Structure 1
Amino acid sequence: MPVARPIAASASPTSARGMGVAATPIAFVQAIVFAYHRYGKDPAGALQKAQIAPDLLHDSQARITALQMERISDAAMQELDDEALGWFSRRLPWGSYGMLARASISAPTLQLALSRWCRHHGLIAPDITVALETAGDTATIRITEHRNMGALREFCLVSVLRNVLGVACWLVDSRIALRCVHLPFAAPAHRSAYSVLFPAPTQFGCTQAAIIFDARYLDLPLRRDEAALQQMLQNALPLTVLQYRRDRLLVQQVRQALLQHPSDTHNAEGVAHLLNVSPRTLHRQLREEGASLQTLKDSVRRERAIDLLLRTHKPIKQVAQAAGFQNEKSFIRAFKTWSGQTPAEFRRNNGAPASL
């Protein structure tokens, strides 16, 4: 089965037919029906397999479940022999998106894997160009459109972004936290679904479709092999529906927050606030990465304190404050635990400049 799956949201307060929670807008089902009509085929069978009542197509506020979206997508891809479901000027035969994943899986890092994925996507679907760009600490996956996709535009652009993001998360076995999402169309009536489709601030009416994230994710090594790929291809829905709990960049993000904001990171609440997560989520994700907030705090404070003691003339009190300690006594006590010496003894024994 292919990697491609059209968008399916996975959380909503509304139930649907006992198949899970309904969060996917009916607009995306309407787009699939439009593709059927484009190919001169009847969507009735696919709608029946997904248990989607035809009357729902006329209700702009209707929602379906992720399972329903999976079923109608699978049926449509096979019946139309087009994994792109009519988005492009030519069909993408069954297995096309799986081929993109297979071409990327041998890369050593996510950056090379995504570069390959984007390049090969242009070979099979020249109607759009998907490109990976980096600038400073920011990475962007951007879509450039080369033709008018009409009624399928939203469905195409959002599906491609969700698909490449899902593949990227799967390749490194990590949640990739988005900074923001740009979409080049006006906010639709179902805009509320976007808070589920993309867990990040979404801006409509932009120049191009794009997702923006921390460039450090690109340095992560791939954690999947050919055997994992074969298993994933049998059920690709989690790529576009389930959110990864693990964030392999979190340890680095916590370290950066501790380094850049020592006075605001005395406790988990302060660190969590800077990273826009709850303290509970922060502790859980660090535990999944084999780390703890206290260990990271000790490491960062120790490195910062040693650097200041060896390179500067700052008094011990100022070193303690700059290293993130609330008072000099707690700093001296912690430093002696780390090194077996007081800060003053460490500075003196290592030939560093004495305090002024």
Structure 2
Amino acid sequence: MPQTSRPLPSPDSHGRAETPMAFVRAIASAYTQRGLDPWPTLSAAQIAPKQFQQTASRITALQMEWLSATAMRELDDEALGWFRRRLPWGSYGMLVRASLTAPTLGVALSRWCRHHNLLTDDIRLNLSTSEGLAHIELHETHDLQDLREFCTVSVLRNALGVACWLTDSRIPLSATALHFAPPPHAERYGVLFDGPCQFKAPHSRLSFDAGYLQLPLRRDEAALQSMLQRALLLTVRPYRRDRLLVEKVRQTLAEHPEHSRNADDLAAWLNLSPRTLHRQLKEEGASLQQLKDSVRREMAADLLLRTQRPIKQIAAEVGFQNEKSFMRAFKGWTGRTPEEFRLAKPT
């Protein structure tokens, strides 16, 4: 019988807590804008009310990734309330797909910016070059108010993550300029963006060596389909050549469940010993059970929100032996029953 504990470990046991609580509050405000209660989702991400109120508090990348993905599905808005109209689930994946056939990174980023401008007119993105540097620029055309910081950071980090992923290269930043005053957590920007960071700039932009624009793309449609299973990694974590064991395990669990019934089968599929599998996952701050729960949870959430399939059928598809055990596990993961989760989808 699958475990029903929440799949997220405590912040102390999985990586460093680096993400400012201000970004969590911005996500919570997107819920309240829609008349929805954010606390079941925040609680499932192991964010306590007291922690939520502390300005200096932070969460881990894993918590932020899970929280953002869940909120995007529940709100059906990949922009998380930044813009006057929603960006439905799949919008950012569509942008990457439209850039995938470009001959070079420069062409791909130009397409990405141009197509993003078709999705919303609240911000304008463009790619420029000067003095040997390339610049991904963000111009605010509608007052984003309290969401300015979260939107700017998220969009720019996503653009950089896409560029790194398309070329399978870690692209170092030469400078970051941001069109807002230093926030109370300004010291955390050394984690969010490498290189010098300037606040109160005329407009926001990322700058890097223009030579990267000539790199060929190294991804295809199959790689895109795999990446889209956890596209938020491009935004919430620095690019690390997506070959970590955690990602390989997640992909195997999602695509080859027949090889993941137990640790021995999974280790054999990955050409590892079970001991090595557990040890390397621990070194990367994860456990096999956590990853199993995470993959099941994400698959279940997607099926509940995107289809009208019966709960019993969804339970079987995500690997549960019966509907009752699935409902108990899902309630443990999200704080809601599958029916409540499905009904909470905004109209």
Instruction: State if a TM-score over 0.5 links the two structures.
Output: yes
The SS at the match of 1:139 is: strand
Q: State the partner residue of 2:221.
A: 226
Deviation string 1:74-125 (CA, Å, 9 cap, x unpaired) is 1111111100000000000000000000000010100000000000000011
TM-score under structure 2 normalisation?
0.65
Q: State the partner residue of 2:111.
A: 116
Rounded Cα–Cα distance in structure 2 between residues aligned with 1:77 and 1:241: 14
1:177 pairs with one of 165, 172, 178: 172
Q: Post-superposition shift, 1:17?
A: 4.4
Rounded Cα–Cα distance in structure 2 between residues aligned with 1:41 and 1:123: 28
Q: Which amino acid aligns with 2:25?
A: Q
Matched residue pairs, number?
Answer: 232
Q: Note the residue ranges of structure 1 that are not aligned, 5 or more in a row.
A: 1-14, 247-356
Q: State the partner residue of 2:269.
A: none
Q: Is residue 65–residue 233 contact of structure 2 (8 Å, CA) maintained in 1?
A: no
Q: State the partner residue of 1:292.
A: none
Q: State the partner residue of 1:106.
A: 101
The SS at the match of 1:195 is: helix
Q: Post-superposition shift, 1:71?
A: 1.4
1:76 pairs with one of 66, 71, 74: 71
Q: Post-superposition shift, 1:225?
A: 0.6
Q: 1:30 to 1:241 in 2, by over 3 A?
A: closer
The SS at the match of 1:178 is: coil
2:17 pairs with one of 15, 22, 26: 22
5 Å-filtered alignment, 1:126-141, equals 126-141=121-136
Q: Note the residue ranges of structure 2 that are not aligned, 5 or more in a row.
A: 1-9, 242-347
TM-score under structure 1 normalisation?
0.63
Q: State the partner residue of 1:194.
A: 189
5 Å-filtered alignment, 1:1-356, equals 16-244=11-239
Q: Post-superposition shift, 1:136?
A: 3.7
Deviation string 1:53-78 (CA, Å, 9 cap, x unpaired) is 12212100001011111111111111
Rounded Cα–Cα distance in structure 2 between residues aligned with 1:245 and 1:161: 17
Deviation string 1:138-184 (CA, Å, 9 cap, x unpaired) is 11111111111111010001100000000000000001111100001
Rounded Cα–Cα distance in structure 2 between residues aligned with 1:238 and 1:57: 23
Q: 1:64 to 1:228 in 2, by over 3 A?
A: same
Q: Which has the higher contact order (CA 8 A, sep 6+)?
A: 2
Q: Which amino acid aligns with 1:92?
A: L
Runs of 4+ aligned structure 1 residues displaced above 2 Å come to 15-20, 240-246
Q: Is residue 65–residue 236 contact of structure 2 (8 Å, CA) maintained in 1?
A: no
Q: State the partner residue of 1:354.
A: none
Rounded Cα–Cα distance in structure 1 between residues aligned with 2:238 and 2:91: 24
Rounded Cα–Cα distance in structure 2 between residues aligned with 1:65 and 1:104: 30
Deviation string 1:204-239 (CA, Å, 9 cap, x unpaired) is 010101001111100000000111000000112331
Rounded Cα–Cα distance in structure 2 between residues aligned with 1:240 and 1:85: 14
Q: Which has the larger radius of gyration?
A: 1
Q: Which amino acid aligns with 1:114?
A: L
Q: Which amino acid aligns with 2:223?
A: A
The SS at the match of 1:142 is: strand
Q: Which amino acid aligns with 1:134?
A: T
Q: Post-superposition shift, 1:243?
A: 3.2
- Calculate percent identity across the aligned residue pairs: 60
Q: Post-superposition shift, 1:245?
A: 5.5
Cα RMSD of the aligned pairs, angstroms, is 1.3
